[in-house]
Amino acid sequence: MAPDEDVILNRTQLNDLAKMPATRRLAAILAADVAGYSRLIGRDEQDTLGRLKAIRTELIDPSVAADNGRIVKTTGDGLLAEFGSSVDALRCAQEIQASLRERNAEFAADSRIELRIGIHQGDVVVEDGDIFGDGVNIAARLEGLADPGGICVSARVQEDAAGKLNLAFRDMGDSSSRTSPDLSELSQFARSGIFPLPTSRPIRCR
Protein backbone atom coordinates (compact mmCIF):
# COMPACT_ATOMS: atom_id res chain seq x y z
CA MET A 1 0.00 0.00 0.00
CA ALA A 2 1.35 3.42 -0.95
CA PRO A 3 2.24 5.65 2.04
CA ASP A 4 -0.27 8.31 0.99
CA GLU A 5 -3.11 5.91 0.20
CA ASP A 6 -6.25 6.56 2.24
CA VAL A 7 -7.18 3.86 4.75
CA ILE A 8 -10.91 3.72 5.36
CA LEU A 9 -12.11 1.55 8.23
CA ASN A 10 -15.67 0.37 8.73
CA ARG A 11 -17.44 0.30 12.08
CA THR A 12 -16.61 -3.38 12.79
CA GLN A 13 -12.91 -2.77 12.14
CA LEU A 14 -12.94 0.29 14.40
CA ASN A 15 -14.52 -1.70 17.23
CA ASP A 16 -12.02 -4.56 16.80
CA LEU A 17 -9.06 -2.17 16.83
CA ALA A 18 -10.39 -0.45 19.92
CA LYS A 19 -10.03 -3.70 21.89
CA MET A 20 -6.31 -4.01 21.10
CA PRO A 21 -3.45 -2.69 23.30
CA ALA A 22 -2.57 1.01 22.95
CA THR A 23 -2.07 1.83 19.28
CA ARG A 24 -1.71 4.97 17.19
CA ARG A 25 -3.68 5.53 14.01
CA LEU A 26 -5.24 8.15 11.77
CA ALA A 27 -8.94 8.78 12.45
CA ALA A 28 -11.69 11.31 11.91
CA ILE A 29 -12.93 12.57 15.28
CA LEU A 30 -16.36 14.10 15.89
CA ALA A 31 -16.85 16.04 19.13
CA ALA A 32 -20.30 17.37 20.06
CA ASP A 33 -21.98 19.06 22.98
CA VAL A 34 -25.31 20.70 23.78
CA ALA A 35 -25.35 24.49 23.56
CA GLY A 36 -26.82 26.10 26.68
CA TYR A 37 -26.99 22.79 28.54
CA SER A 38 -26.86 24.33 32.03
CA ARG A 39 -29.67 26.72 31.17
CA LEU A 40 -31.86 23.91 29.80
CA ILE A 41 -31.22 21.75 32.86
CA GLY A 42 -31.96 24.64 35.20
CA ARG A 43 -35.26 25.30 33.47
CA ASP A 44 -36.56 21.72 33.36
CA GLU A 45 -34.12 18.94 34.24
CA GLN A 46 -36.47 16.00 33.71
CA ASP A 47 -37.71 17.20 30.32
CA THR A 48 -34.21 18.04 29.10
CA LEU A 49 -32.74 14.68 30.12
CA GLY A 50 -35.66 12.83 28.58
CA ARG A 51 -35.34 14.65 25.29
CA LEU A 52 -31.58 14.15 25.22
CA LYS A 53 -32.00 10.43 25.78
CA ALA A 54 -34.47 10.25 22.89
CA ILE A 55 -32.15 12.22 20.61
CA ARG A 56 -29.27 9.89 21.45
CA THR A 57 -31.18 6.62 20.95
CA GLU A 58 -33.37 7.66 18.02
CA LEU A 59 -31.01 9.93 16.11
CA ILE A 60 -27.35 10.04 17.10
CA ASP A 61 -26.60 6.36 17.69
CA PRO A 62 -28.27 5.19 14.44
CA SER A 63 -26.58 7.95 12.42
CA VAL A 64 -23.12 7.14 13.76
CA ALA A 65 -23.61 3.43 13.08
CA ALA A 66 -24.97 4.04 9.58
CA ASP A 67 -21.90 6.08 8.70
CA ASN A 68 -19.44 3.43 9.93
CA GLY A 69 -18.49 5.18 13.15
CA ARG A 70 -18.49 4.30 16.83
CA ILE A 71 -19.39 6.26 19.94
CA VAL A 72 -16.21 6.41 22.01
CA LYS A 73 -17.73 8.00 25.11
CA THR A 74 -20.48 10.31 26.29
CA THR A 75 -20.70 12.99 28.97
CA GLY A 76 -23.73 14.65 30.46
CA ASP A 77 -24.08 17.03 27.53
CA GLY A 78 -21.66 15.73 24.92
CA LEU A 79 -20.09 12.85 23.08
CA LEU A 80 -16.99 11.79 21.20
CA ALA A 81 -17.21 9.58 18.10
CA GLU A 82 -14.60 8.05 15.82
CA PHE A 83 -14.83 7.40 12.08
CA GLY A 84 -12.56 5.82 9.51
CA SER A 85 -12.86 8.77 7.13
CA SER A 86 -13.58 12.49 7.25
CA VAL A 87 -16.35 12.08 4.68
CA ASP A 88 -18.22 9.63 6.91
CA ALA A 89 -17.84 11.91 9.94
CA LEU A 90 -19.04 14.99 8.07
CA ARG A 91 -21.95 13.14 6.49
CA CYS A 92 -23.01 11.93 9.93
CA ALA A 93 -22.79 15.44 11.40
CA GLN A 94 -24.85 16.82 8.54
CA GLU A 95 -27.57 14.20 9.07
CA ILE A 96 -27.69 14.82 12.82
CA GLN A 97 -27.96 18.59 12.53
CA ALA A 98 -30.60 18.42 9.79
CA SER A 99 -32.72 16.02 11.85
CA LEU A 100 -32.34 18.14 14.98
CA ARG A 101 -33.57 21.20 13.13
CA GLU A 102 -36.72 19.30 12.24
CA ARG A 103 -37.20 18.18 15.85
CA ASN A 104 -36.66 21.69 17.15
CA ALA A 105 -39.26 23.26 14.89
CA GLU A 106 -42.01 22.63 17.47
CA PHE A 107 -40.10 24.25 20.35
CA ALA A 108 -39.56 27.87 21.27
CA ALA A 109 -36.06 29.16 20.49
CA ASP A 110 -34.98 29.15 24.15
CA SER A 111 -36.17 25.56 24.65
CA ARG A 112 -34.43 23.95 21.69
CA ILE A 113 -31.71 21.35 22.13
CA GLU A 114 -28.98 22.35 19.68
CA LEU A 115 -25.62 20.68 19.20
CA ARG A 116 -22.28 22.23 18.38
CA ILE A 117 -20.09 19.82 16.42
CA GLY A 118 -16.37 19.88 15.64
CA ILE A 119 -14.58 17.47 13.29
CA HIS A 120 -10.89 16.90 12.71
CA GLN A 121 -8.83 14.16 11.12
CA GLY A 122 -5.54 13.39 12.82
CA ASP A 123 -3.45 10.96 14.82
CA VAL A 124 -5.05 9.40 17.90
CA VAL A 125 -3.89 6.93 20.52
CA VAL A 126 -6.39 4.14 21.17
CA GLU A 127 -6.31 2.33 24.51
CA ASP A 128 -9.04 0.24 26.16
CA GLY A 129 -11.64 1.58 23.76
CA ASP A 130 -10.86 5.24 24.51
CA ILE A 131 -8.98 7.68 22.27
CA PHE A 132 -6.46 10.36 23.20
CA GLY A 133 -4.05 12.78 21.57
CA ASP A 134 -3.88 15.97 19.55
CA GLY A 135 -6.53 14.78 17.10
CA VAL A 136 -9.07 14.57 19.92
CA ASN A 137 -8.01 17.89 21.44
CA ILE A 138 -8.32 19.72 18.13
CA ALA A 139 -11.80 18.27 17.47
CA ALA A 140 -12.88 19.49 20.91
CA ARG A 141 -11.50 22.97 20.23
CA LEU A 142 -13.32 23.10 16.90
CA GLU A 143 -16.56 22.10 18.60
CA GLY A 144 -16.17 25.06 20.93
CA LEU A 145 -15.88 27.39 17.92
CA ALA A 146 -19.05 26.11 16.23
CA ASP A 147 -22.36 27.96 16.38
CA PRO A 148 -25.31 26.20 18.04
CA GLY A 149 -26.70 23.94 15.33
CA GLY A 150 -23.47 24.32 13.33
CA ILE A 151 -20.45 22.24 12.38
CA CYS A 152 -16.86 23.48 12.52
CA VAL A 153 -14.23 21.50 10.65
CA SER A 154 -10.48 21.73 10.14
CA ALA A 155 -8.99 22.50 6.73
CA ARG A 156 -7.97 18.85 6.42
CA VAL A 157 -11.58 17.70 6.72
CA GLN A 158 -12.75 20.35 4.28
CA GLU A 159 -10.20 19.19 1.72
CA ASP A 160 -11.26 15.56 2.11
CA ALA A 161 -14.92 16.48 1.57
CA ALA A 162 -14.26 18.51 -1.58
CA GLY A 163 -16.00 16.87 -4.53
CA LYS A 164 -17.43 14.09 -2.37
CA LEU A 165 -20.18 15.86 -0.44
CA ASN A 166 -22.41 18.61 -1.79
CA LEU A 167 -21.70 21.10 0.98
CA ALA A 168 -20.93 24.78 1.26
CA PHE A 169 -18.35 26.26 3.64
CA ARG A 170 -17.86 29.79 4.90
CA ASP A 171 -14.82 31.56 6.26
CA MET A 172 -14.80 31.84 10.05
CA GLY A 173 -12.47 34.81 10.03
CA ASP A 174 -9.53 35.10 12.37
CA SER A 175 -9.50 32.72 15.32
CA SER A 176 -7.73 33.45 18.57
CA SER A 177 -7.22 29.71 19.07
CA ARG A 178 -3.80 29.41 17.46
CA THR A 179 -2.14 27.08 19.95
CA SER A 180 -1.84 24.35 17.32
CA PRO A 181 -0.78 24.66 13.66
CA ASP A 182 -3.86 22.60 12.72
CA LEU A 183 -6.06 25.32 14.22
CA SER A 184 -4.55 28.05 12.04
CA GLU A 185 -6.83 27.06 9.15
CA LEU A 186 -10.48 26.40 10.04
CA SER A 187 -13.73 26.30 8.12
CA GLN A 188 -17.24 26.81 9.46
CA PHE A 189 -19.83 24.58 7.90
CA ALA A 190 -22.55 26.78 6.40
CA ARG A 191 -25.80 26.45 8.31
CA SER A 192 -28.97 25.91 6.33
CA GLY A 193 -32.35 24.27 6.77
CA ILE A 194 -32.13 22.70 3.32
CA PHE A 195 -29.86 19.82 2.36
CA PRO A 196 -27.90 19.27 0.23
CA LEU A 197 -26.44 22.75 0.30
CA PRO A 198 -25.58 24.56 -2.93
CA THR A 199 -21.98 24.04 -3.93
CA SER A 200 -19.56 26.90 -3.43
CA ARG A 201 -15.80 27.24 -3.41
CA PRO A 202 -14.43 26.32 0.03
CA ILE A 203 -12.67 29.18 1.78
CA ARG A 204 -9.94 28.88 4.39
CA CYS A 205 -9.04 31.29 7.10
CA ARG A 206 -5.83 33.20 6.58
In this prediction the pTM is 0.77
- Please report, for the chain, the start and end positions of each structural domain, with discontinuous segments joined by +: 11-189
Cβ atoms of 84 and 97 within 8 Å: the answer is no
3-class secondary structure, 49: helix
CATH number, span 11-189:
3.30.70.1230
pLDDT digits (tens, 9 = 90+) for 103-122: 999 999 999 999 999 999 99
pLDDT digits (tens, 9 = 90+) for 8-53: 566 666 666 555 567 888 899 999 999 999 999 999 999 999 999 9
The mean pLDDT value for 116-135 works out to: 89
DSSP 76: S
Give the pLDDT of residue 193: 31
Please confirm whether the linkage preceding 148 is cis (ω < 30° from 0). Answer: no
Give the pLDDT of residue 18: 54
Residue 179 pLDDT exceeds 70: no
